[in-house]
Amino acid sequence: MQLYVDSANIADIRHAASLGIISGVTTNPSLLAKEDPSLDIRSLILDIHKTVGGHLSVEVVSTDTDGMLREADEILSWFPDATIKIPMIPAGLAAVKSLSRQEVPTNVTLIFSAAQALAANNAGATYVSLFLGRLDDVATDGLQAIEDTCEIWDVHGLESQIIAASIRHPIHVLQCAKAGAHIATVPYKVLLQMIKHPLTDSGLQSFLNDYEKMKNEKEKLSR
């Protein structure tokens, strides 16, 4: 399963990219709003794209089909391999259908059920993003939505890539990988949690301590 970082913070993205564990980046208006308001969005997006060089989803903010398509054209003028992130609403599906005919990759976002994911796939979405964490937040089984979607994809051999989004912790990532999601888009903090384990830290410290002990004993013998 591929990992994306879900962020618009260029420092975090650069660090994640330097670790070699991410294949792309997803952004959204809320993530962009957390950054310095003096930053030019176009410049920030291009900086992110240059840093990662792989998948980058950029979300539209219009809620009508024509507006979404105009925004898509603008984003594509920034860099032609952008993936256009579209909300899971009727006007969004119409935009996805139009962009699909132009072979523009799309990521349908704010999906909360397998039925919505199926509809987005049929509209021509390249990616379908299911928000399991937000489902968990309202006492609904988010993982079940991922599992149901993966099962339907397996039965019918559907083409859209399933993105597990709204990831809250490393266990979410493991559960989605076991369910069969193609991608997990993960907050920077959770990426760091994934690669850390207390036994790794204590084991490394033990190795270093033993090495220092051996080196000191050799120095004593050589005197």
- Give the pLDDT confidence of 12-21 residue by residue, as tens digits: 999 999 999 9
Averaged pLDDT of the chain? 96
CB–CB of 90/109 below 8 Å? no
Give catalytic residues, as residue numbers.
Answer: 85
Q: Does 89 have pLDDT greater than 90?
A: yes
Sequence ranges of the domains in the chain: 2-222
pLDDT at 176: 98
86 φ, ψ (degrees, to nearest 5):
-125, 135
- Give one word for 34, left, alpha or beta, with left for phi > 0 and alpha for psi -120 to 50: alpha
* Furthest CA-CA distance within the chain: 82
pLDDT in tens, 115-142: 999 999 999 999 999 999 999 999 999 9
Mean pLDDT of the region 162-185: 98
The Cα–Cα gap between 86 and 58 comes to: 9
pLDDT in tens, 72-83: 999 999 999 999
State both tokens at 70: 């105009």
Question: Is 2-222 in CATH node 3.40.190.10?
Answer: no
Q: Does 223 have pLDDT greater than 80?
A: no
pLDDT at 39: 87
Question: Where are the alpha helices (H) located in the chain, listed in sequence order?
Answer: 10-19, 29-33, 41-52, 65-78, 90-101, 114-123, 132-137, 142-156, 170-179, 188-194, 198-222
pLDDT in tens, 21-43: 999 999 999 999 999 888 899 99
pTM score, whole prediction? 0.94
pLDDT at 159: 96
Residues 6+ apart with CB under 8 A from 172: 132, 133, 142, 143, 164, 184, 190
Confidence of residue 197 (pLDDT cuts 50, 70, 90): very high
The Cα–Cα gap between 90 and 63 comes to: 9
